[in-house]
Amino acid sequence: MATRTTDLAVDEEVVSQMADPSIRGSRLPIDVLYTSEPPIIDPLVTATSTAQDRTLDQCLPLLKAADSNIEYNANGVPHLHRERHIKYLETTLGNLPAPFVGADASRPWCMYWALNALSLLGADVSKFRESLIVTATHMQNKTGGFGGGFGQTSHLATTYAMVLSLVIVGGESAYEVIDRRAMWKWLSSLKQPDGGFQMSLGGEVDVRGAYCAAVIISLLNIPLSLSSDSPASVAGLADLYTGLADYVQRCQTFEGGISAKPDAEAHGAYAFCALGCLAILDAPHRIIPRTLNVPRLISWLSSRQYAPEGGFSGRTNKLVDGCYSHWVGACWPLIQASLRAPSQPAHDSGPQREPTPEFVSFYDREGLIRYIMSCGQDHSSKGGMRDKPSHRSDAYHTCYVLSGLTSAQHVVSAVLAENEYVTNMAWKVSPYSDPQLFDEQDRLNPTDPVYAIPQEKREEVMTYFLSKPGF
Partner 1 sequence: MPPKNNKGGAKAKELSEANQENDAAKTQTVFERAQAAYDLTRPPYDKEREELGGLHALSTVEKTAYANWFCTAPDEYGLLSKKAQKELWKQVNETNRPLRRGQIDRPKPDQWGQDKLGRNIGDYTVQQYEQRIAKEAQLTCLKALGRSFASKRLYASKGLVDSSTGEKYTLTEDDITAEKDRRREMAALTKDLYGEKMGPYSTDPEWDDVVPVPQMEPEAALSAIAYPEDYAESMSYLRAVMAANEHSPRCLKLTEHIISMNPAHYTVWLYRFANIQHLDVPLLDEITWLNGVALDYLKNYQIWHHRQLLVKRFARSERAFVMEMFAEDAKNYHVWSYRQYLTRKLGMWENEAHGELDSIEGMIDDDVRNNSAWSHRFFLVFSNPRYADPDSHATEPDPKVPADFVDREIAYAQAKIELAPQNQSPWNYLRGVLVKGGRKFGSVQSFVEQYVQNLGNEETEEVRSSHALEQLADIYEEAGDKEKADLCWKRLGEKWDRIRLGYWEWKRRSLKAASS
Enzyme catalytic residues: 267, 315, 318, 321, 323-324, 387, 394, 397
Interface positions with partner 1 (CB under 8 A): 33, 39-44, 46-49, 249-250, 252-256, 260-261, 263-267, 293, 296, 298-299, 302-303, 305-307, 310, 315-318, 357-358, 360-364, 367
Q: Which of residues 237 and 320 has its CB atom nearest to partner 1 in the complex? A: 320
User: From CA 230, how far away is CA 301, in angstroms rounded?
Assistant: 36
> Three-state SS string across the chain, please?
CCCCCCCCHHHCCECCCCCCHHHCCCCCCCCHHHCCCCCCCCCCCCHHHHHHHHHHHHHHHHHCCCCCCCCECCCCCECCCHHHHHHHHHHHHCCCCHHHHHHCCCHHHHHHHHHHHHHHCCCCCHHHHHHHHHHHHHHECCCCCEECCCCCCECHHHHHHHHHHHHHHCCHHHHCCCCHHHHHHHHHHHECCCCCEECCCCCCECHHHHHHHHHHHHHHCCCCECCCCCHHHHCCCCECCCCHHHHHHHCECCCCCECCCCCCCCCHHHHHHHHHHHHHHCCHHHHHHHHCCHHHHHHHHHCCECCCCCCEECCCCCCECCCHHHHCCCHHHHHHHHHCCCCCECCCCCCCCCCCHHHHCCCCHHHHHHHHHHCCECCECCCCECCCCCCCCEHHHHHHHHHHHHHHHEEEEEEECCCCCCCCEEEEEEECCCCCCCCHHHCCCCCCCCCCCCHHHHHHHHHHHHCCCCC
CB of residue 303 to partner 1, shortest distance in Å: 7
Q: Which of residues 189 and 249 has its CB atom nearest to partner 1 in the complex? A: 249
User: From CA 113, how far away is CA 110, in angstroms rounded?
Assistant: 5
Q: Which of residues 185 and 340 has its CB atom nearest to partner 1 in the complex? A: 340
User: From CA 469, how far away is CA 142, in angstroms rounded?
Assistant: 21
CB of residue 375 to partner 1, shortest distance in Å: 15
Q: Which of residues 132 and 269 has its CB atom nearest to partner 1 in the complex? A: 269
Q: Which of residues 358 and 456 has its CB atom nearest to partner 1 in the complex? A: 358
Q: Which of residues 185 and 250 has its CB atom nearest to partner 1 in the complex? A: 250
CB of residue 253 to partner 1, shortest distance in Å: 5
Q: Which of residues 58 and 302 has its CB atom nearest to partner 1 in the complex? A: 302
